[in-house]
Structure 1
Amino acid sequence: MALTTLTRRNALAGMGLVAAAGIIRPHGARAETSLTVVLESEVVIFDPHFTTAAITRTFGYHIFDTLFAMDGKGEIQPQMVARYETSPDRLTWTFTLRDGLKWHDGAPVTAAECVASINRWAPRDAIGRMLRAATAAMAAKDDTTFSIALKEPFPLMLQALGKANAPLPVMMPMRFASTPGDQRITVPPVGSGPFRFRADLWKSGNSMILERNPDYVPRAEPADFLAGGRAVKVDRLDLRVMPDQMTGANALIRGEIDYMQYLPFDALPLLRRARNVKLLSIGGIHQFQGNFRLNHAFPPFDDPAVRRVLWKLVDQPSILSAIGVPAEFHAAQCPSFWMCDAPLSSAAGAEAAGLDIAAAKAALKATSYAGEPVVILEVAGSISQTAAQVLAQNMKNAGFTVDEQTMDWGTVLARRVKKDGWSLFPVYSNGTDMISPLNHFYIASTCEDYPGWSCDARVPDLLKAFSRAEDQAGRKRIAEEIQKVAYELTPCVMWGQFTIPAGYRTNLSNLPQSSYPMFWDVERA
């Protein structure tokens, strides 16, 4: 995911941002039961099984529902499921759906549709593929109950069905769930979630309306991150598209919008002075992890020794400072592939990491590197571009030839699917996408299925062992072994763990303290 946020080189005055928060007047009254929000980008893909895009995941959690969901402690709790049980040998799992579950067209949710939804999602997801490989049979027993019979115990059953990262295992009506997973669903979606998509009011490039689902029956428990009762307290969400982040920040200060997912760092001083705006800053797994993704299929990073030189060319605090991230919004230095302040946090394998230009120069001379240009794909005006520019200068100082190429994110997406013509690109992802080896984009991928094409013969067996571990201590030990391999393999190089604060109007309450935008339970004070 890359965002079109402005770097510190851009002057606020040139963006027309309001100069004095104290004299701003509300733009005007809106319906009390409507929230106007600006998310990271426009929703263009409706199919949560099909893509890893975070914006589609956000859309998916509001329109669809999942069998299980993650709570604020990272534990998996029942969501659509009322109860479940396992056989004594742990080879049979039986799930019973809650009463009252309906699709947006009024039809009841059935167990057969849940089975079909799991079968559609699983081949497109790393942990889903492991579940599929361990499954002997999966079938509906009646309209509200289905079972999964396993070939061998699969301790991460709940973590698979309740995973919080994309592709998201949402439940779909049979007409959608029977569509092959590699065929994107493009028609207006029908889910069973707390909001309904109003296709008749959709204005592409401008706004999208999500309406409260009057038939949705939330769980009885209080909302807890993605788990618990998703009680909707507004009539509709108006998802607005902004031309740039500064325009969005200005609209938030004026009261034209109620919430903005990603605020530009340059605007934070002014936003802090705005009397009717609050900033939402979170830590741990709700932060972002920045990475430089390396292309293992194209010189010079087809040589692992050349890749490992980069560990000596990255200083996370320096990069985050260059971007303009205030100290309270980032970790000092995080060596963990699985995020810091997270269940699997570890420094295993990180001994070689740390900025040392002289050591990098000496290490580079000992490799096969012969001056090939390192082609960096950079998104113009983004914070990830600033991160890449800091790395590029360090690389030049160490003896690399660097070719920085600037483009938009769409062009990066098109370029990165080709195995030649690029060497690395900077990106950042939600921490929940990176907290486990089974959902980490660059560890759980293979030489065939994800741009960068990194793989190591040791990783699949370690991932399988991780999925079979019976407790958290066993998983943590195996995750440390995987991380040691990752530092050798260098599928990516972390450039920082940080928060991009959201902003919201002070008359909103019950807004979840998370980087995931969630608008159930939110109401006006």
Structure 2
Amino acid sequence: MSTITASRRGVLAGMTALAFPAALLPRPAAAQQKPLTVMLESEVVILDPHMTTAAITRTFAYHVFDMLYGSDAKGQIHPQMVETQEVSADQLRWQFTLRPGLRFHDDTPVTAADCIASLARWAPRDSLGRMLLAAGATMAAQGERVFTITLTKPFPLMLNVLGKPNAPLPAIMPARVAAAAGDGRIKEVIGSGPFRFAADRWRVGDSMVLARFAGYVPRPEPSDFLSGGKTVQVPEVVLRTIGDDTTGANALVAGEIDYMQYLPFDLVPMLARSQGVKVMTLKGLDMFQGNFRVNAASGPFADPAVRAVLWQLVDQKEMLQAAGIAPDLRMDHCAAFFMCDAPLGSNAGAAAATFDPAAGKAALARTGYKGEPVVMLQVSASISQAAGSMLAQRMREAGFTVDEQVMDWGTVLQRRGRKEGWSIFPVYSNGVDMASPLTHFYISNNCGDYPGWSCSEPMSALLTQFAAAPDDAARARIAAAIQEDAYRTTPSVMWGQFSRPAGYRTRLQGLVASSYPIFWGVRLGNA
């Protein structure tokens, strides 16, 4: 398998300073030697890296936990916790030796047994992990620092799986923590990453503290995206929960926070002119893909004919405009499940996605739909809420009964885990996640226990073929066939591809331009 190529990341350039509107005027700056204070996309609700695909949990996990391998900015996989690896001639036995000196945050050593327990817990919950298990993987410790994975058939994706940048992450935790969790979430948050979770300082609804872990030994190589030496330059990172984006922007201008992951679209031009603030605008695979995820397990969308009607009710430009996304930050239309301007982007099967509300209304009338409520889970104050409301309007015009229920993202995560009680929710995901059939949330989890529960047997066979494809050309052909099947079965419906600018104070140095918030290597200057 060829690795996914992420867009080039580098240290950011500066912006000019101009006047700012009165609503966002700077207030006196706090002392420069404070911890790094950030506002992420949402509050961290799920702290278990194995239990969710939520990007906010992934951000948390990459700082608190470590992985056996990591991806660089070009998508190449490198050893992270592993010192050396050996592969047998028949490709059926992999041996991994851990780096010396690895320690957990409770000051216990990281052992081969911990790695085995972590991978065994994670693999059944992840689409790529399940592929590893399907290759007959069995794991055994050969000492404190050495373990093996033995297969019944070659699995060329081994390192791509162990170093995947997509949630749920194959993060390593103590074996006792994994065992104590049983089928539920972990009860202790103990990793071996560059930051430790300060549980005693967690204030739900207000703030969370990630403190520098003095026992972390970085790799000797320079840091490169999610790989290399993760050297921490700040004493701690404080994750602030702020009620709304305008208040967050105000705090950024005032210097009360140092980094804001998602800037309000309507304030981006003004923030770019604000003294002491820089705006990070990203393209390529650092863009996002919006989707409407449908529930194929129950309710109206259990009928594939009813799901298919949605393709005729979505005008991506209309929805992106409703979300307030400027033309320079969006693509007015993208028919590619695996991202436009990306290696596997194509228009295969896209004829099904012709915006035509009248035809959609007629198509719905031909189905067995009898007016049952379509329960739409909406995230309050999110840009996806605007897209959802636009679709709800179009659906009502077509003859659907729509029940929009507004809540926070944490509640959506809880609600979507049940097979009943919801029909659809709008969401957006990082392009790195969506650029391959093996990581696209709504394709890779086909026929798996994953919210939405879409299942196509032809797609399952195609995914197996994609994983075994010998070259890029073959993978592209299979990806096009997978996309055609997705347009036929409708696991989700795209509502647009766009960029989400981040903002940060000029005193931050060493911040990497990425849609993944990364705080190792960041220094605080006096600017």
Separation in structure 2 between the aligned mates of residue 326 and residue 23 of structure 1, nearest angstrom: 24
Q: Could you say which residue in structure 2 is the equivalent of 1:219?
A: 219
Q: Which moved more, 1:38-47 or 1:372-381?
A: 372-381
Q: Could you say which residue in structure 2 is the equivalent of 1:428?
A: 428
Q: Could you say which residue in structure 1 is the equivalent of 2:144?
A: 143
Q: 1:54-93 to 2 correspondence within 5 Å?
A: 54-93=55-94
Separation in structure 2 between the aligned mates of residue 397 and residue 222 of structure 1, nearest angstrom: 56
Q: Indicate if the aligned counterparts of 1:21 and 1:271 stay in contact, CA closer than 8 A.
A: no
Question: CA 1:145–1:168 in structure 2 vs 1: closer, same or farther (change >3 Å)?
Answer: same
Separation in structure 2 between the aligned mates of residue 136 and residue 318 of structure 1, nearest angstrom: 47
Return the offset for 1:343.
3.1
Q: Which moved more, 1:259-268 or 1:173-182?
A: 173-182
SS of residue in 2 equivalent to 1:127: helix
Q: Could you say which residue in structure 2 is the equivalent of 1:29?
A: 31
Q: Indicate if the aligned counterparts of 2:446 and 2:459 stay in contact, CA closer than 8 A.
A: no
Check if 1:461 corresponds to 2:464.
Answer: no
Q: Indicate if the aligned counterparts of 1:122 and 1:128 stay in contact, CA closer than 8 A.
A: yes
Q: Could you say which residue in structure 2 is the equivalent of 1:38?
A: 39
Check if 1:131 corresponds to 2:132.
Answer: yes
Question: CA 1:279–1:136 in structure 2 vs 1: closer, same or farther (change >3 Å)?
Answer: closer
Unaligned runs of 5+ residues in structure 1 are 1-17
Separation in structure 1 between the aligned mates of residue 45 and residue 310 of structure 2, nearest angstrom: 35
SS of residue in 2 equivalent to 1:234: coil
Q: Could you say which residue in structure 2 is the equivalent of 1:19?
A: 21
Question: CA 1:377–1:42 in structure 2 vs 1: closer, same or farther (change >3 Å)?
Answer: closer
Separation in structure 2 between the aligned mates of residue 505 and residue 136 of structure 1, nearest angstrom: 47
Question: Structure 1, residues 94-130: CA drift from partner, whole Å, max 9, x if none?
Answer: 2222233222233322222212211111111111111
Q: Indicate if the aligned counterparts of 1:373 and 1:400 stay in contact, CA closer than 8 A.
A: yes
Question: Structure 1, residues 215-270: CA drift from partner, whole Å, max 9, x if none?
Answer: 22222222221112211111211222212222111010001111111222222233
Return the offset for 1:462.
1.9
Return the offset for 1:456.
1.1
Check if 1:107 corresponds to 2:108.
Answer: yes
Return the offset for 1:482.
1.3
SS of residue in 2 equivalent to 1:432: helix
Q: Could you say which residue in structure 2 is the equivalent of 1:165?
A: 166
> Identity of paired residues, percent?
60
Q: 1:254-269 to 2 correspondence within 5 Å?
A: 254-269=254-269
Separation in structure 2 between the aligned mates of residue 514 and residue 324 of structure 1, nearest angstrom: 22
Separation in structure 2 between the aligned mates of residue 524 and residue 422 of structure 1, nearest angstrom: 45
Separation in structure 1 between the aligned mates of residue 519 and residue 45 of structure 2, nearest angstrom: 20
Return the offset for 1:505.
0.2
Question: CA 1:297–1:138 in structure 2 vs 1: closer, same or farther (change >3 Å)?
Answer: closer
Return the offset for 1:321.
1.0
Q: Which moved more, 1:264-273 or 1:21-30?
A: 21-30
Q: Could you say which residue in structure 1 is the equivalent of 2:340?
A: 340
Return the offset for 1:60.
1.0
Question: Structure 1, residues 252-301: CA drift from partner, whole Å, max 9, x if none?
Answer: 00011111112222222331221111111212222221111112234432
Separation in structure 1 between the aligned mates of residue 116 and residue 380 of structure 2, nearest angstrom: 43
Question: CA 1:59–1:408 in structure 2 vs 1: closer, same or farther (change >3 Å)?
Answer: closer
Separation in structure 1 between the aligned mates of residue 170 and residue 422 of structure 2, nearest angstrom: 32
SS of residue in 2 equivalent to 1:378: strand
Return the offset for 1:477.
2.4
Given the two structures, how large is their TM-score scaled by the length of structure 1? Answer: 0.90
Separation in structure 1 between the aligned mates of residue 480 and residue 158 of structure 2, nearest angstrom: 22
Q: 1:287-306 to 2 correspondence within 5 Å?
A: 287-306=287-306
Return the offset for 1:151.
0.2
Q: Which moved more, 1:246-255 or 1:476-485?
A: 476-485
Q: 1:229-308 to 2 correspondence within 5 Å?
A: 229-308=229-308
Separation in structure 2 between the aligned mates of residue 23 and residue 484 of structure 1, nearest angstrom: 51
Q: Could you say which residue in structure 2 is the equivalent of 1:15?
A: none
SS of residue in 2 equivalent to 1:178: helix
Separation in structure 1 between the aligned mates of residue 427 and residue 345 of structure 2, nearest angstrom: 21
Question: CA 1:391–1:107 in structure 2 vs 1: closer, same or farther (change >3 Å)?
Answer: same
Return the offset for 1:444.
2.7
Check if 1:328 corresponds to 2:328.
Answer: yes
Q: Indicate if the aligned counterparts of 2:334 and 2:496 stay in contact, CA closer than 8 A.
A: yes
Given the two structures, how large is their TM-score scaled by the length of structure 2? Answer: 0.90
Q: In angstroms, what is the RMSD of aligned CA positions?
A: 2.2
Separation in structure 2 between the aligned mates of residue 312 and residue 206 of structure 1, nearest angstrom: 42
Separation in structure 2 between the aligned mates of residue 59 and residue 420 of structure 1, nearest angstrom: 29
Q: Indicate if the aligned counterparts of 1:511 and 1:518 stay in contact, CA closer than 8 A.
A: yes
Separation in structure 1 between the aligned mates of residue 106 and residue 377 of structure 2, nearest angstrom: 44
Q: 1:406-417 to 2 correspondence within 5 Å?
A: 406-417=406-417
SS of residue in 2 equivalent to 1:443: helix
Return the offset for 1:329.
1.7
Unaligned runs of 5+ residues in structure 2 are 1-19
Q: Could you say which residue in structure 2 is the equivalent of 1:12?
A: none
Check if 1:193 corresponds to 2:193.
Answer: yes
Q: Which moved more, 1:95-104 or 1:440-449?
A: 440-449
Q: Indicate if the aligned counterparts of 1:21 and 1:273 stay in contact, CA closer than 8 A.
A: no
Q: Which amino acid aligns with 2:290?
A: G
Question: Structure 1, residues 302-357: CA drift from partner, whole Å, max 9, x if none?
Answer: 32222222212212122111110112222232212122233322221112213122
Q: Which moved more, 1:513-522 or 1:324-333?
A: 324-333
Question: CA 1:366–1:124 in structure 2 vs 1: closer, same or farther (change >3 Å)?
Answer: same
Q: Indicate if the aligned counterparts of 2:24 and 2:253 stay in contact, CA closer than 8 A.
A: no
Return the offset for 1:524.
2.4
Q: Indicate if the aligned counterparts of 2:53 and 2:168 stay in contact, CA closer than 8 A.
A: yes
